[in-house]
Structure 1
Amino acid sequence: MYQLIANTGYFFLILNLILYITGFSKFGKAYKIFTCYLALLVTVQLICVILLYCKKVNLFMSHFYFVGQLILLAIFYFLLVKDVVKKKIILIGTSAGLLVLAIQYLFDPGMFSKFNLFEITITSLLVVFFALLHLYDMLTDKKEYYFITVGIIIYLLASTILFLVGNLTIGLSENLKFLSWTLNAVLVLINQLFILYEWKKSFYKKAALLV
């Protein structure tokens, strides 16, 4: 069941990347950054699969995923929010988060080869906060990237909780660990479906008109 859900999520991720690439030069800077984010996800996943196939450790790729996600989505929401104060909050929050992580790895380089729960928590919650800033703007402004934003909030909040719970229950049965990973795969799939729906709702007709 896990493998089926995970593979379905990867299928929609690749499909979304292909769809968003078709509009790469048509829909502005924020669109381009989000497409780069999808490309990052596909690249990290591909490298992980190759390393796994070669029977190599791929755990270190999680750092590229979470830090890259923070940087690209911070830029994405920086471009979307209109208020100067919110833009400064995103800049300061991202810089502070990256600085804290850099200090952590400087004093403990061995963390690079481990699953860093602190990194997951700080990067994910920062992105959720930035997404909430944009969601708040959309209460009184046009709903730009609304479904993507809702999907990101749901996915990152729920997956962060799963990682935290999974870490606390690390000594419990394999069945519970497997359930945790399966639920995370479901969240990935749901997030990709939100992204696909955003394309259909906001860009499909526009892309057709521009052809």
Structure 2
Amino acid sequence: MADIFIYLGYFVLTIDLILYTYSFFRKEEANVFFVSYLAFCFIMQFSMEAMYHFHLNNLFLVNIFIIGQMIFLGLFYNSIFNVKSQKRFVLISVGAALLILAIQFATDWGQFLRFNLFEITLASLLVVIFALIHFYNMLTESKKYYYISIGVMFYLLTSTVLFLIGNLTHNLSKEFKFLSWQLNSVLLVMYYGFILFDWKKNFSKKSVN
């Protein structure tokens, strides 16, 4: 059953990437940083899947994915914010987070090769804060990327909890750990679904000639 949601997630992500790429290159509507984020997700998801099938440890790719996600979504929110102080906050906070993580990896490289509780929490909650700022801005501005931000907040908060549980239950039964991965695959499908729905609401009608 878990494989169904995993491959369904890949399918929805692929559709998202195709649609947003079309809206960017053909209609010049989609945000370049968000399209880049989707492309990054696509590459990372299939890289992790390939390493899994070759029975290779892909946990370092999970850490790259978490960090890259923070960077791309940080740039995305920075580009749609209109207030200079908010844009400055995004750049400074992402830069500070990268510096802190660089110091952590330099002092203990092993953190990069396993679930890094601190990294996951820091990167995910930082992006959630950006999404909250966007919700605040939408009180007086247009509601563009509204459903994307809902998906970001929903997925990052819930997946962070699951990643924490996955790391804390490292020595527990395989069945319990497998359940957390099953739930994460379901949440990922829902997240990519929010992104797809946002495209439908904001770009689909505009794409019809």
Same fold (TM over 0.5): yes
Q: 1:52 to 1:181 in 2, by over 3 A?
A: closer
> Alignment partner of 2:205: what SS?
helix
Alignment match, 1:27: 28
TM-score, scaled relative to structure 1: 0.93
Q: CA deviation at 1:145?
A: 0.5
Alignment match, 1:169: 169
Alignment match, 1:128: 128
| Structure 1 letter corresponding to 2:49 | V
Alignment match, 2:201: 201
> Alignment partner of 2:208: what SS?
helix
Q: CA deviation at 1:168?
A: 2.9
Alignment match, 1:51: 51
Aligned equivalents of 1:180, 1:12: Cα separation in 2: 21
Alignment match, 2:73: 73
Aligned equivalents of 2:170, 2:61: Cα separation in 1: 21
Alignment match, 2:8: 8
Aligned equivalents of 1:48, 1:169: Cα separation in 2: 21
Aligned equivalents of 2:24, 2:43: Cα separation in 1: 17
Gaps of 5+ in 2: none
Alignment match, 2:189: 189
Q: 1:55 to 1:163 in 2, by over 3 A?
A: closer
| Structure 2 letter corresponding to 1:16 | D
> Alignment partner of 1:144: what SS?
coil
Alignment match, 2:143: 143
Cα RMSD (Å): 1.5
Q: CA deviation at 1:53?
A: 2.8
TM-score, scaled relative to structure 2: 0.94
Q: CA deviation at 1:11?
A: 0.8
Q: 1:177 to 1:53 in 2, by over 3 A?
A: closer
The number of residues matched between the two structures is: 208
Alignment match, 2:40: 40
Aligned equivalents of 1:154, 1:48: Cα separation in 2: 23
Aligned equivalents of 2:194, 2:116: Cα separation in 1: 27
Q: CA deviation at 1:170?
A: 3.2
Q: CA deviation at 1:169?
A: 3.2
171-180 or 76-85: bigger deviation:
171-180
Q: CA deviation at 1:165?
A: 2.6
